[in-house]
Structure 1
Amino acid sequence: MKIIWTFTLMMIPGVVSSMSVTGYSGGGVNITCEYDKKYKENTKYFCKGDWLSCIDRIRTDIKDKWFDDGRFSLYDDTRSAVFTVTIRNLTEEDSGTYHCGVDIPTGIDSSTEVKLKISTGQQTRTVRGYSGGNIIINYKYELIHTNHVIDVCKTSSDQCFTVINTNRSTEWKRDRRFSAHDDTSAGLLRLFIRDLNENDSGEYKIIVKVSEDYSFFSEFDLDIKTDDCCVKSISLSASAGGSVNINCKYPQSHSGDVKFVCWRSGADLCAKETPVNESRRWRDEGKIQLYDDREQQLLTGSISHVTEENSEYWCGVQTDQGHKIFITRVLVSVTDTVGPAAGWPVWMGITVACVTFIIIIIIIIVLYKIQKKRINCRSAIDEYENYPRTDPRTDPRTDPRTDPRTDPRTDPRTDPRTDPRTDPRTDPRTDPRTDPSEDTYTSLDLNTRSSDLYDTLTTVHPRPAVHQ
């Protein structure tokens, strides 16, 4: 098939070679065309269409200097005998056949055929960052490009100065404040810029060099701002294995974006990420719990099981295009002391505190009642001891006349119904057992008794009849 294609090209007058180029909508391509050194003074051009009916897109006789014509630019490097054509802001309509041509007035023009295919790709226009923070810019490309080099450069005065390149490395590569990681298995380039400042603002290019013949690129504007809403750094302390609470403000323009907290591990600023994409709803993922209040522009949460290895975190937002903007740095100072509540989550700490508070209140109430009872008892004892003393002879409590045992008013033995002193049946005047006249009468000698005395006694106390 290759032999047939080469033979077909040889049959077309002026066409000496061909290449296939892939670009992405919104981005651009750089196409490099060689020519014979004897034509370095000739006019160069780039046209679209079949060779015999090709329509110019750009044509110039300017040497060693960029010439622009709309979205097309051409640079003729006479020393290397190559000229480069750049096409920006690609669309799917740009797909088709093109030719790099050298104008030869006295003969047939020399030409290189270019088959351009435009695929739908990621369009990055403006990326915003904040002074003192960091940013990760993600650039997606197709997996068909496996053997390539990626350069990142900043444009200034029609030149693009490289800030970092990957050199086909599969690991993170760092150059001062710039780091890059090319994940060829996922077709993803991650560009990390740390310690942002306003001088970093400007136009950047991510250039993927596929071969010596062409490369494709994406352009974006980096806008670095200073926002007073947000703290650049927070310092906290916690015992080893304990937990800390965090509060991170973010700009109002990012209220609708996904928020996250990242744990940094070495050069990887976001080794492990916990995102939250809903407002006013807790997100619990392992050792990190997050809550996003979009009305207050406040991200709160807690980090548990803190260790010295996990002592640096970042609060940030993620845009719709996947770019990560790191706003606030959280540094946790880890101590060696492990408290009894080490590793407890926030809700457990609050529960323990509430239960402890209730127990303390109950203990206070019980102690208060015991103390009050003791005071009442002591008052009663003091009142008894201080009661005024009285003469036993007059004290009704000691007066023998009021002794229940001798008081006829309280002596049960002096019940009027049984007391012989009050029983009418035992009236001394009628009871012969107690009648003194009886004794007197029986003691008299009948032979010697006086009639006068007898008459008196019998008159006052008649003697009852004696039955023989």
Structure 2
Amino acid sequence: MRAFSIIFITFCLISGQVLCFKVIGCSGGSVMFKCMKTNKRESSDQFKGKYFCRNRDCTTGISTETRHRWVYNERFALYDDENRGFFSVFIRKLSREDAGKYTCGNNQEWSHIVDLVVNNNSSSCGTSVIRSAYKGQTITFSCEYDHKIETHTKVLYRVNGDPVLLLKISQSSQSSEEKFILSDNQRDHFTVTIRNISEEERGVYLCGVERDGEDKPPSETSITHKTFIKEIELKVHSQISSVQVEAYISKSVFITCEFPEEFKENQKFIQKVSSQEISVKEQNQWIHHDRVHMYDDTSSGVLKVFISDLTAADEGRYRCGVKTVNDHVFMKIKLKINQVDHFPESSESAAVIGESVKLSCNSPEKQQSIKHICKENEQKICQSISSSEKQRFEFSDSTAGVFTASISNVRLRDAGVYWCGAETRHKHLTSVSLTNKHQLTLTMPPVIGREGDSVQIKCPYDEKHSAETCLRSGKCLSKEVKYLCKGKSFTKDAQIIIRSDEGHVKNPKISVKDDTELNLFTVNMTELRAEDAGKYWCAVKDVFNLPIELMIIRKDEMTTSDTKRETPQPGESASQFELKVIIMINVRVGCTT
């Protein structure tokens, strides 16, 4: 809150005529006062231009010959009402540079000296805030003031079209039907309530007090002025009456509610009508409540809501909102759950690291909307693909109601559960109805070796498995033990070939190296035999498993023609040549720990 001092005026009287007065303001505040004629006799004054200026050429200030409407020059405004014997001067957003001597009057017949003083010795004035409201909402804000003037009349003005327009004074009576209500029952502030806000209420409001040159309330004979102590910019947003979001039984839906920028830090909530309000008490992290997951993103001012495993009971009306000081701002959502599910329950796809994979997705034919794909995180929440990843995802429509999502250059971290569906956007709300579930598993390209030679089996793993612990001897080992296994998946027949933490070599033909900086577990196998062929698993307990196929070229199985030529024929790659003589043992195996 910026500091200010209360504005007051001291008048100079000579022979009953007002010749000069002092205006004391504050940096950041505003003031409005009247420049009165020296007498009330009829004259040619009504045909003269009026002015409030700092110097003779009026480069600082304002002058006009226009009558019966406000004229303004930057922060200065003037209204000439010659029928009432005065004109009004309004100065907004005072600064220290505004201090000094001014003259107000008409061009020839009369003038007054105005001594404007601007200082900074109070904490009640010069405040400027922004408030937001939706159409139909009721909003209340407070206006602080120095306790010395608590008995003075309080005023509410509006800056809109005309520079200032009186809306309310505290001494006026009020009814329950009034649009503006001013309540002055506190020692250091009064409150302003605006009911049933419409588009017309947007704009800038000024609240202040009515004063003369004393701390005591003005008398009936006092010449008063207005001291504005606070400026409120009110933004009015369109209230969304109801947005319908369609989703499907047993599937999921992702909803994003966007709020005005000034509500970024406010607490958000989701509520099913007639049910308990679910508040998001922690910001910038996922919070779950049964099947409802919420994320209050303060950086973008949105509330993300993910509801999984939808049931018929989830259908109904919801409020997606933000809590304010005096009220709640919310958007209405009508969630419709389609009971008929035409989409496959789930599917499995396998991809080779470094290559591409295509995932088939469905969307309602009537929806010409944006296609969307997302991946579940560890909390089984389907988050949006980051912008840096979007270039690796391509979408194409194959048939009516079916589209394909292609992932290029598949990486280790791409393994997991994916959902795809159709996205629908409204002005303040985005919804994604997720309809297809894909389990994407990864494999490594086959490793090819010759009987009697050696090969390296490289097992990449996620960086979360690379944490190290150091022994007293100074040797550091990975906390997570890595395995190379062979055998039927998760059975007693599973054979552990080697572990990353083995301090001795069980088999002199096999060695291991775990590079935690590269997140790479490498096994070196020598003196290969035909029975070494098959499928192996790079594993970290039962959390991470990556299959690799080892192919062995047997010497005694080469055909006579292939044995005679040591290199591939023209146009034939080395791998094609080797595959002609390879023996593949296609037994799917795995390991347990």
Band of TM-score, shorter chain? 0.3 to 0.5
Higher-helix-fraction structure: 1
TM-score under structure 1 length normalisation: 0.46
Larger radius of gyration: 1
TM norm structure 2: 0.38
Q: Which has the higher contact order (CA 8 A, sep 6+)?
A: 1
Instruction: Looking at secondary structure, tell me which structure has more strand per residue.
Output: 2
